C-alpha cells in the first residue's frame, strides 16, 4: 500500500527527504514551500510543489515531515494534529529508518559553539582510529547518510528546532553545551527553550550518557528531576572523548591539528598590523560575548544586522568594557542596538551597511588592534545568510589589503 507524505519546507533537509522518499516507488510525495515557484523551477522533476499556504481539498496524508525552520504552529501542522496525522522532523524520520541497524550516535546541542564542538569531536575521534562522520545541523542531513556502513559513528549536531519532534531513542552520548537567549520568537521563553533542548536526553538509548553544563544544572534544576544526567563543569570534548577511551593527552594532541570552521571566530588575515576575524556565525549577543572573551583586548567590533526577537545587548556590558575599543553598528537594527549599548561608554559609529562599517574600521584601526565581525544579529536585512555576510567581509578585506599592499593571509 502506498504511503502519502507531505513535506513542509524544501531547504537542505526537506529536499534530502524528498529524494530519499521518491527512490521508493511505493511512496507518494507532495511538498509545500514559501518559495514554491522558485523551487518548482529548480526541482520540477522531484514531486508536486505548492505554496506553503495552499489549502488541500483532501488532506489525506499518512505522514507530515517538517524542515527545521517550520514551526508546529504552521497551519498545515495544526490541521495534521487535528486529524491525528504523525508529524516529525527530518532527524526523527531518519532515525526511524535506521532502527534495523545498530549504530553509534553522539548528539550535541546548545545555543553557541555546537558546530565547532561537533566537528572537533569528530576530528579527535577520527584521529584516534574511529570511523566517524559529522551530520545534522552542520549542513549534512542525517537522511543522506543512513545507508552508510553501520560501523560508522555519527556525531549529530542538533538545533532546538530539530529536537522539538524527536521521540525515538538513538543516542549513545548526548550533551547540552550551554543556553543563551535565542529563538524566543519560536519558544516564547527560556524555560520552554531549555525543555526543548533537554529533549535530547529523552532520546538516549538505555544506559546512554547525558552531560549537561554545570550552570544549566544550577539554573534549570527543577526541570531535571526526572532525568538522569552528569553535570559537566569542564571540557565537553574531553567528556565525550573519555567515553570512547581517548585520553586527555590525546585530546590535547589532536586539538592542535583541528582547523577552525569558517565564519566562527575565524582568523582571516592582517592589514597594516591589525588582525581581522570573521565571526559572522555569531547571530546572538551571547555569541558576541564569547568572541570578545576569546580575543581579549583592543577590539574594534562590527555589530548589527537584524536583531533577533527577545535578545538584548545589555548583557554584554561587563565583557565589553576593557576589551572593546570601538563599536561600529550597522544594519537594520543599528538604532535599537545603539540605545542598548550607549551606557557602556565605548565610542561607536552607526552606519547603514556592512561595507560602510568595514571602511570605518579599517580607517580607525591601528597596529595591534583586532578587527572583529561578530554581529550578534541575523543577516537577512542585507545578506542571504551568515555565510554570505562572512564571505563579503573577507572579500572586502582582501580587496583593501591588495590596495594598501600590506597584508598577510586572507582565507
CA nearest neighbour of 142 among 128, 117, 163: 163
Alpha helices (H) along 209-342: 214-219, 236-243, 248-255, 285-295, 317-320, 334-341
Query: 406 — phi, psi (to 5°)?
Result: -120, 95
CATH topology classification for 3-85: Rossmann fold (3.40.50)
Take residue 203 and report the three cell numbers written for it: 532520546
Q: From the CB of residue 241, how many other CB atoms can be counted at a distance below 10 Å?
A: 21
Q: From the CB of residue 129, how many other CB atoms can be counted at a distance below 10 Å?
A: 9
- SS3 letters for 257-294? CCCCCCCCCEEEEEECCEEEEECCCCCCHHHHHHHHHH
Residues 164-204 pLDDT 10s = 999 999 999 999 999 987 777 888 899 999 999 999 999 99
Q: Which residues of 399-409 are buried (b: 16+ CB within 10 A; e: fewer)?
A: ebbeeeeebee
Take residue 150 and report the three cell numbers written for it: 553501520
- Provide the edge-to-edge strand list for the sheet that holds 230-232: 132-136, 153-157, 105-109, 171-176, 204-213, 230-232
Q: Would the CATH topology of 3-85 be identical to that of 266-408?
A: no
pLDDT value of position 54: 85
Residues 305-343 pLDDT 10s = 999 988 999 999 999 999 999 999 999 999 999 999 999
Class of domain 94-255: alpha beta
Answer yes or no: are the C-beta atoms of 325 and 302 closer than 8 Å: no
Burial of 28 (0-12, 13-18, 19+ CB in 10 A): middle
- Distance in angstroms (rounded) separating the CA atoms of residues 391 and 375: 14
pLDDT value of position 191: 95
In the chain, where the domains are located: 3-85, 94-255, 266-408
pLDDT value of position 109: 98
> Which CB contacts under 8 angstroms, 24+ apart, belong to 57-64?
59/83, 59/85, 60/4, 61/4, 61/5, 61/6, 61/30, 61/85, 62/3, 62/4, 62/5, 62/86, 63/3, 63/4, 63/5, 63/6, 63/87, 63/88, 63/93, 64/5, 64/6, 64/8, 64/88
pLDDT value of position 409: 52
Take residue 370 and report the three cell numbers written for it: 583586532
- Distance in angstroms (rounded) separating the CA atoms of residues 77 and 309: 23
pLDDT value of position 199: 97
pLDDT value of position 39: 76
**Which stretches of the chain drop beneath a pLDDT of 50?**
none
Element (H, E) at 186: helix 184-187
- Distance in angstroms (rounded) separating the CA atoms of residues 142 and 136: 6
Architecture of the 266-408 domain: Alpha-Beta Complex (3.90)
Amino acid at each position: 500500500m502506498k504511503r502519502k507524505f507531505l513535506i513542509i519546507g524544501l531547504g537542505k533537509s526537506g529536499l534530502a527527504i524528498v529524494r530519499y522518499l521518491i527512490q521508493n516507488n511505493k511512496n507518494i510525495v507532495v511538498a509545500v514551500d514559501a518559495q514554491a515557484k522558485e523551487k518548482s523551477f529548480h526541482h520540477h522533476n522531484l514531486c508536486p510543489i505548492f505554496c506553503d499556504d495552499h489549502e488541500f481539498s483532501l488532506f489525506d496524508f499518512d505522514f507530515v515531515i517538517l524542515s527545521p525552520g517550520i514551526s508546529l504552529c504552521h497551519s498545515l501542522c495544526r490541521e495534521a494534529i487535528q486529524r491525528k496525522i504523525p508529524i516529525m522532523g527530518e532527524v526523527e524520520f531518519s532515525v526511524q529508518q535506521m532502527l534495523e541497524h545498530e549504530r553509534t550516535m553522539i548528539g550535541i546541542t546548545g545555543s553557541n559553539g555546537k558546530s565547532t564542538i561537533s566537528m572537533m569531536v569528530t576530528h579527535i575521534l577520527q584521529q584516534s582510529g574511529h570511523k566517524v562522520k559529522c551530520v545534522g545541523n552542520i549542513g549534512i542531513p542525517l537522511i543522506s547518510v543512513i545507508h552508510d556502513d553501520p560501523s560508522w559513528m555519527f556525531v549529530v549536531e542538533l538545533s532546538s528546532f530539530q529536537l522539538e519532534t524527536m521521540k525515538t531513542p538513538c543516542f549513545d552520548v548526548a550533551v547540552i553545551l550551554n543556553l543563551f537567549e535565542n529563538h524566543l520568537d519560536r519558544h516564547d521563553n527560556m524555560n520552554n527553550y531549555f525543555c526543548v533542548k533537554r529533549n535530547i536526553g529523552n532520546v538516549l538509548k538505555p544506559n546512554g550518557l547525558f552531560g549537561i553544563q554545570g550552570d544549566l544544572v544550577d539554573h534549570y534544576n527543577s526541570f531535571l528531576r526526572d532525568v538522569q544526567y552528569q553535570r559537566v563543569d569542564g571540557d565537553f570534548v574531553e567528556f565525550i572523548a573519555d567515553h570512547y577511551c581517548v585520553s586527555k593527552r590525546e585530546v590535547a594532541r589532536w586539538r592542535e591539528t583541528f582547523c577552525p570552521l569558517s565564519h566562527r571566530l575565524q582568523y582571516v588575515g592582517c592589514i597594516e598590523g591589525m588582525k581581522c576575524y570573521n565571526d559572522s556565525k555569531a547571530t546572538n549577543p551571547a555569541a558576541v560575548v564569547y568572541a570578545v572573551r576569546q580575543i581579549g583586548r583592543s577590539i574594534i567590533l562590527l555589530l548589527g544586522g537584524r536583531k533577533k526577537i527577545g535578545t538584548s545587548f545589555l548583557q554584554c556590558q561587563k565583557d565589553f568594557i576593557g576589551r572593546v575599543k570601538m563599536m561600529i553598528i550597522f544594519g537594520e537594527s543599528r538604532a535599537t542596538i545603539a540605545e542598548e549599548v550607549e551606557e557602556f561608554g565605548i565610542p561607536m559609529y552607526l552606519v547603514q551597511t556592512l561595507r560602510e562599517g568595514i571602511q570605518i574600521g579599517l580607517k580607525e584601526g591601528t597596529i595591534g588592534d583586532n578587527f572583529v565581525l561578530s554581529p550578534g544579529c541575523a543577516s537577512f536585512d542585507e545578506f542571504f545568510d551568515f555565510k554570505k555576510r562572512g564571505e563579503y567581509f573577507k572579500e572586502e578585506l582582501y580587496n583593501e589589503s591588495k590596495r594598501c599592499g600590506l597584508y598577510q593571509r586572507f582565507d
